[in-house]
Amino acid sequence: MEGAGEDVYCTLLMSDSYLPGALVLAHSLLDSGTRKKLAVLVTLDNLHYTSLAELQKLYDYIIPVERIVNKSPANLYLMDRPDLNATFTKIALWRQQQFRKIVYIDADVVTLRAPDELFELDTSFAAVPDVGWPDCFNSGVMVLNPNLGDFYALLALAQRGVSFDGADQGLLNMHFTNWHRLSFRYNCTPSGHYQYVPAYRHFQSSLNMIHFIGHEKPWLSGRDAPSSSGVYEELLARWWAVHDRHMKPIASSRTSEPTTHTDAGHLPTVSEQTATEDLPIQHPIYIPYKEAQIQSSTPTAVASTPTNVTSSKEEPQTSLSRFSPPMTEWDPSRAPPPADSKPEALNFPQQSYSMSADGELFRPPNAYPEPPKGMYYEVPKTAPKFEPKPLFPWEHTAAKPTRVFADDLPSKPEESSITPPLGEENDVDTASPTTPTINIIPPDAWQNYTRSNAWDDVPEIERYITSMQQARKGRVQVLLDTKAGDEPILSPSIEAGPARRKASLRLTDFPSEVERPSLPVTPAPIRRPSFWGEERNEEGELPAAEGVPKQEEWNPAAKLDELLRRQSEVLMNPEPVSSPPKPIPNREMPSSSVDASKPDFAENKDTNEDDSPGMVPAS
Ligand SMILES: O=c1ccn([C@@H]2O[C@H](COP(=O)(O)OP(=O)(O)O[C@H]3O[C@H](CO)[C@@H](O)[C@H](O)[C@H]3O)[C@@H](O)[C@H]2O)c(=O)[nH]1
Ligand SMILES: [Mn+2]
C-alpha cells in the first residue's frame, strides 16, 4: 500500500446527519495547514452516495468499515444517548495497520490549529480527560498506534457489550487504563452547564480543538447556543466560521422535532421551511450537499434567512436537507415508546443507485460470442437406481427374499424363486400376475445350521460358567445312582458322537431325559405337635362351636326346601301395604312408529289394539 506507515488524521462518519461535522473538521484541518493526510471511516450501509462524494473532495482515504452495534445498549440510556449505539465502530481504527499513527477526531470537532505535533508523541495511546469524569478520557480525540492486539481485545469487549456507558468511550476506558494524558486544549468540550470561564480566558489563545459533545451539534442547533453562555457561543462561532468560509449557507440538517428558536441567527430547519408533513416520512428526500448550496439564492446572509416559511417560496428546495434515520430511540425492554418517537421503519437501510452520466448511445458489438455448448442436462433414459449401500456385514450375505412384489415379476423372473402354478407355461403373464408359490425352506436346513458360538471355545468363560452352574446344581436332585458305581448316563455329544460327552455350555446341548433333574415333589404334610394341647380331640381337631351343627348333620337339600317354603308363605299372605303384582303387558314398547308429537303415553294406548286390559296408563 502506498500510504504504509503513514500518519493520518482520521474521523468516523456513520450517518448523513454528521456530514456537516465531518466536512467542517476536514476544512478546519486543511485551513490550519496540516501536512498530514486525512482519512475517514465510513459505514456504507447508512450513507448516501452524495455524502461519499462530498467526503472524497476533502479526505485522502475513505475507508469502509463494518458497523459494530452494541447489542446490549441499556447503558446508553444512562446518558440518554441511544443514538450512539454504533460508536463501537470506532474500534476499527486499531485495525488500520496501513497507518503508523492515527490522530482520531470526532466529526463534531473543529480544529483551530492543526495539532501535528501529536504524531511525535512517543506513546501508544493518548487522550484528554473527560469533563464529565476526568479520571476517564474523552474518546473524541485520541492518539493511537493501530495494532491487532488492541483491536481484537476491543472487539471482544464490544461483542460482549462491555461498556459502562454503552458506547465507545466506556469501552475504551475499560481497555486503556494507563493512558497518556493530553492537555484539555486538544479536546476542549464547552458545555452549556459548566464553564471554567477564567481558565478559558487564560488558555483561549492556545486552544487546538473544540469538541461539541452532547445531543446538540452546531449544524443542528444553529448559530445560537442552546444556553446562551458566552464561552459556548464564542466557540460555536468558530465552528460556523469554518462552515461559512467553505460551505455557506446550507439548510440545517435537523430532521427531528422542530426547534423553538426563532431568532434571526437561527438556521431554518426542515420542518420549518417546508411542509414536510406532506412528504411520506418513510421516503426521506436527499439532495446533494453541493446542490443545496447552489440552489440557495441567499449565499451570504445565513443570519438573514427568513424563518418564515411562507415567504421563502422561491427557494423551496433548500429545505430538503439530508436525512439520517434514527437509531434506537428508546429501550423497548424498559419502557413504552415515547409519545414523540419516530417510526421504527425509519431505520431501514437504504440503497441508492445513481443514473449513468454516460452520454454515449449504446452500440451493440458486431458479433456476440457463441454460447457455450453442452450446457444442458441429459435426461437419463432409465430411471437411476437408488439403492442404499450395504452397511452391516450380514447385508452382504443376506438371503434373497422369497416374497416379492407382483410388479417386480416381469423384470427378472429368473432370479425369483417363484415357480408358476401348475398347468401354465413358464412365461409369466405380466398382465395378471398369479399368486406365487413359494419354495419352503429345505428340510435339511436345520441340520446345516451352525450351533456353536464364538465363545464356546474360550476356556476362561467355560470355567466361569461351570463354576456357577455347580454352585446352583447343589440344590437340585439328579437321578444318578453314582453310589452303586453306575456310570452317569449321558446323551451322545453332537460333535463327538457316541463318545463321552464333555461338559458344555452350549444352549443347544440339551440334557437327555436321564440327565434332567427331577422336579421337586410337594411333600405330604406332617402334623406338628399342637400348640392347643388337650383342647383338641383325638383327631387333633378343635372343639366345635356352640349352636353350629356338625358338618355331617347339615343337609343342604332340606335347608333349601325350607327356605323356599318360608318364601312362599310370605308371598301368599301379603301385607296390606304392598300393591298386587302387576301382570306384564303383552305389548311392544313404543318405538319410532309411535307419533312422537303426542306427548302423553296414555293417548297412544287407545289406538293400540294389543293393549292388555291390565295395562295401567301412565299418570
Ligand atoms: O449517528 C451518528 C453518531 C455518531 N457518529 C460518529 O460518532 C462520533 C461520536 O458521536 P458524538 O455524537 O460525537 O458523541 P459525543 O456527543 O461526542 O459523546 C461522547 O460519547 C461518545 C460515546 O462514547 C463518544 O464517542 C464521544 O467521543 C464522546 O465525546 C461522532 O462524532 C461521529 O463521528 C456518526 O457518524 N453518526
Ligand atoms: Mn463527539
Please tell me the distance between residue 106's alpha carbon and the centre of ligand 1 in angstroms: 6
Please tell me the distance between residue 383's alpha carbon and the centre of ligand 2 in angstroms: 69
Q: Are the C-beta atoms of 58 and 107 separated by less than 8 Å?
A: no
At 145-169, the pLDDT tens digits run: 999 999 999 999 998 888 888 889 9
Q: Average pLDDT, stretch 175-189? A: 96
- Asked whether the predicted pLDDT for residue 301 surpasses 50, the reply is no
Ligand nearest to the CA of 40: 1
Closest C-alpha to ligand 1, atom 26: 140
- Asked whether the predicted pLDDT for residue 224 surpasses 90, the reply is no
Q: Average pLDDT, stretch 288-301? A: 37
Please tell me the distance between residue 243's alpha carbon and the centre of ligand 2 in angstroms: 17
- Asked whether the predicted pLDDT for residue 343 surpasses 60, the reply is yes
Amino acid at the residue 152: Y
Query: Of all atoms in ligand 1, which is nearest to the CA of residue 214?
Result: 16
Query: Of all atoms in ligand 1, which is nearest to the CA of residue 165?
Result: 23
- Asked whether the predicted pLDDT for residue 334 surpasses 70, the reply is yes
Sign of CA dihedral 316, 319, 324, 325: negative
Please tell me the distance between residue 229's alpha carbon and the centre of ligand 1 in angstroms: 23
Query: Of all atoms in ligand 1, which is nearest to the CA of residue 14?
Result: 35
Q: How far does CA 445 lie from the centroid of its chain? A: 59
- Give the contacts of 33 (CB within 8 A, at least 6 positions apart): 114
Ligand 1 site-directed mutation target among 10, 13, 18, 329, most atoms within 8 Å of CB: 18
Please tell me the distance between residue 213's alpha carbon and the centre of ligand 2 in angstroms: 5
**Strand partners of residue 7:** 101
Ligand nearest to the CA of 90: 1
| Backbone phi, psi, residue 293, to 5° | -70, -45
Q: How many other CB atoms are found less than 10 A from the CB of residue 135? A: 8
Ligand nearest to the CA of 106: 1
Secondary element (H or E) of residue 9: strand 6-13
Cα–Cα distance, 152 to 1 (Å, whole number) = 23
Give me the count of residues in the chain. Answer: 619
Which residue carries 460555536 as its cell? 236
- Give the contacts of 118 (CB within 8 A, at least 6 positions apart): 103, 126, 143, 182, 186
Joined together, the cell numbers standing for residue 30 give 486543511
- Asked whether the predicted pLDDT for residue 281 surpasses 60, the reply is no
Complex prediction ipTM? 0.98
- Give the contacts of 133 (CB within 8 A, at least 6 positions apart): none
Please tell me the distance between residue 107's alpha carbon and the centre of ligand 2 in angstroms: 6
Nearest partner of 212 among 184, 189, 234, judged by Cα? 189
Please tell me the distance between residue 45's alpha carbon and the centre of ligand 1 in angstroms: 18
Q: Average pLDDT, stretch 198-207? A: 90
Nearest partner of 193 among 237, 219, 232, 234, judged by Cα? 232
Lowest pLDDT segment from 43-57, 162-176, 227-241, 539-553: 539-553
- Give the contacts of 600 (CB within 8 A, at least 6 positions apart): 618
| Backbone phi, psi, residue 4, to 5° | -60, 135
**Strand partners of residue 210:** 110, 188
Question: 44 versus 543: which is more confidently predicted?
Answer: 44
Q: Average pLDDT, stretch 603-616? A: 45
CA 111-175-173 angle, to 5 degrees, is: 50
Please tell me the distance between residue 133's alpha carbon and the centre of ligand 2 in angstroms: 15
Closest C-alpha to ligand 1, atom 34: 14
Ligand nearest to the CA of 86: 1
Residues lining ligand 1, CB < 6 A?
11-15, 17-18, 83-84, 87, 106-108, 138-140, 165, 167-169, 213-214
Alpha-carbon distance values, 568 to 555, 561, 565, 574, 584 (Å)? 21, 11, 5, 10, 20
Please provide the average confidence, as pLDDT, over all residues in the chain. 72
Question: 550 versus 605: which is more confidently predicted?
Answer: 550
Cα–Cα distance, 545 to 81 (Å, whole number) = 102
By CB atoms closer than 10 A (0-12, 13-18, 19+), residue 138 is buried
Query: Of all atoms in ligand 1, which is nearest to the CA of residue 90?
Result: 7
What is the separation, in whole angstroms, between the first and last Cα of the chain? 114
Lowest pLDDT segment from 43-52, 555-564, 600-609: 600-609
Joined together, the cell numbers standing for residue 11 give 474521523
Ligand 1 site-directed mutation target among 84, 141, 219, most atoms within 8 Å of CB: 84
Architecture of domain 6-319: Alpha-Beta Complex (3.90)
- Check residue 85 and give its pLDDT: 82
Domain boundaries, the chain: 6-319
- Check residue 352 and give its pLDDT: 74
Q: What is the dihedral of CA 353, 357, 361, 363, to 10 degrees?
A: -60
At 507-551, the pLDDT tens digits run: 556 666 666 666 655 555 555 555 555 555 555 566 667 777 777
> Left (φ > 0), alpha (ψ -120 to 50) or beta: where does 298 sit?
beta
Question: 62 versus 603: which is more confidently predicted?
Answer: 62
Ligand nearest to the CA of 171: 1
Instruction: Using DSSP bridges, classify how beta strands 6-13 and 37-42 pair: parallel, antiparallel or unpaired.
Output: parallel
Q: How sure is the predictor about 209, in pLDDT bands with cuts at 50, 70 and 90?
A: very high
Joined together, the cell numbers standing for residue 556 give 343342604
- Check residue 332 and give its pLDDT: 76
Lowest pLDDT segment from 116-125, 207-216, 360-369: 360-369
Ligand 1 site-directed mutation target among 16, 28, 87, most atoms within 8 Å of CB: 87
Q: How sure is the predictor about 338, in pLDDT bands with cuts at 50, 70 and 90?
A: confident
Highest mean pLDDT among 173-177, 402-406, 607-611: 173-177
Q: Average pLDDT, stretch 179-199? A: 88
**Strand partners of residue 478:** 517
Q: How many other CB atoms are found less than 10 A from the CB of residue 580? A: 6
